[in-house]
Each structure stands twice: as structure tokens, then as C-alpha cells.
Amino acid sequence: MTDKSFGYALKENGRVIAALIIRSSVTRFGESRIGYLWTLAEPAIYVGMFLSMHGFVRSSLPFGDSAMLFFLTGVIGFRMTNLIARKSANGLSHNQAMLTYPLVKPLDTIVAAFILEVIIWMIVCTLFIFFMYVGLDRKIIVYPLQFGAAILAIAFFAFALAVFNATFGTLVPLWSKMLSYANIPLMLASGVVFVPATLPPSVLAIISWNPFLHCVEWFRSATYLDYNSVLDKSYLLSASTVLLVIGLTLERVYRNKLLENE
């Protein structure tokens, strides 16, 4: 009876999350194709901006023989991590109307938004990798297993950060505002436009605390044969685990308060 009840509950939870995914998709994109196009255009705009600045100042290429590939791996690595985490965290507030149903829990809204964002960014990644392959006429992902591990690690960190931000941010509204202000500094400190290994040890010791840096480094390491990385896999996975445990604990302890705030 217990196994049957658990299986039934799991199936019901799956239906709830599937319904939330569809709702989130419709809410985000609706009937307009502009939302889909913007999802693809945004990383391209960032890459174009960095390429323009690089050409304007005529600085040397940070690494490799393609400025486009270098900046693209940085932009995609950071934006994918950041936006999956941010959009997933927003699932809690964007689905506030659904929280009135007893079957829908706050965590369900985050999981649904997370699954949708991961699907979107897998499509975005695939398209950009294909375009780079055609444009450069060479293999882009030189370490497939490393690339797969990077995607999983990024997804894990993004989900953990989303759960933490959604719960802690609801309890402490100032946290959400602080995150919005920190977006650009975080990107600049994540190695998007430079090779972290070339920095002085004193500077590197500070920015190495930034988990986004290790997401970008892991992602970029899979696209170069001899990239000099400062990636610390243990730190990234440990930080993700700590954030997830804290976030899940807050969601469980303050679930009623989260529902009231919504």
C-alpha cells in the first residue's frame, strides 16, 4: 500500500510539474515568436559587443585563434548558468496563482521553470555550436565527456542557486535587488573576456570564490585542447550542494510563509 501510494504521489507530482512547464512556456513566449528569437539573439548581441570592443582597442586575443569562439564560450557559459538560475527562481513568483491549489508546492514551480530553461538552453547551445562548426570549419567540442560533465555541473549549480534565491529572496526581498545589481560585476569576474589563469595570484584568489567562474572555465575547457584552466570542480559541486541544502531547508521550514508572501 505504501509503495502504491508513493507511486501515485510521484505520478501526480509529475503531472503537476508538466502542467507548470506548459504554463511557464505559454506565459514566457505566448503566441509571439519574438521571445524565441530574443533567446537566440541575446547571446549573439553580447558576443558581437565583445568582438567590437576587442577590435576597437586592438588588444591581443586572450586565448586561441578565434575571438568569436573565445567570447562565445564565455558568454554562453555564464548566460546559460545565470539565466537558468534566475528564470527558475522566478518560477515561484510567476506561478503564484497556481500555489492556491493544494497539489502545487513552491518547489514544484521552481523545478518546472528549471526544466523549461534547461531545454531552451540546450537548444541554444546546439544551434551556436553548429553555427560555429560551420563558420570555423572545425570541431568545436574537443572533449565531449568534459562538455557533458560541464553541462550537468552547470545545471546542478543553477538549480541549487535557483532554489536558494527563490526561498531566501522571498523571505528577504532585499536579496533579489542585490542580485540584480550584481549581474554585470559577476559576469566580468567570471572570465568571460579574459583567461583567469593569467591574472596575478592575489586577484585570482579573490575571484575564485565566484562559482560562475568555474562554470565558465568548465564549459570553455571542453572546447580547447590546451586551455590553461583554474577550474576547481570540487569547490563548484560543494558550493552547489550547500546552496541546495540551505534552499530546500528554507522551503520546507518556511513553506507556509512562502505561500503567504505569494
* Mean pLDDT computed over 167-176: 84
Q: Are 63 and 97 a contacting pair, CB within 8 Å? A: no
Residues 63-78 have pLDDT tens digits of 767 777 888 888 889 9
Read off the pTM: 0.86
pLDDT at 1: 45
pLDDT digits (tens, 9 = 90+) for 128-141: 888 888 877 778 88
pLDDT of residue 134: 81
Give residues with Cβ within 8 angstroms of 69, minimum separation 6. Answer: 132, 136, 140, 223
Cβ neighbours for 39, distance < 8 A, ≥ 6 positions apart: 120, 124
DSSP string, 68-94: HHHHHHHHHHHHHHHHHHHHHHHHHHH
pLDDT interval class at 179 (50, 70, 90): confident
Spatial contact of 107 and 163, defined as CB atoms under 8 Å apart = yes
| SS3 assignment, position 242 | helix
Average pLDDT over residues 188-205: 90
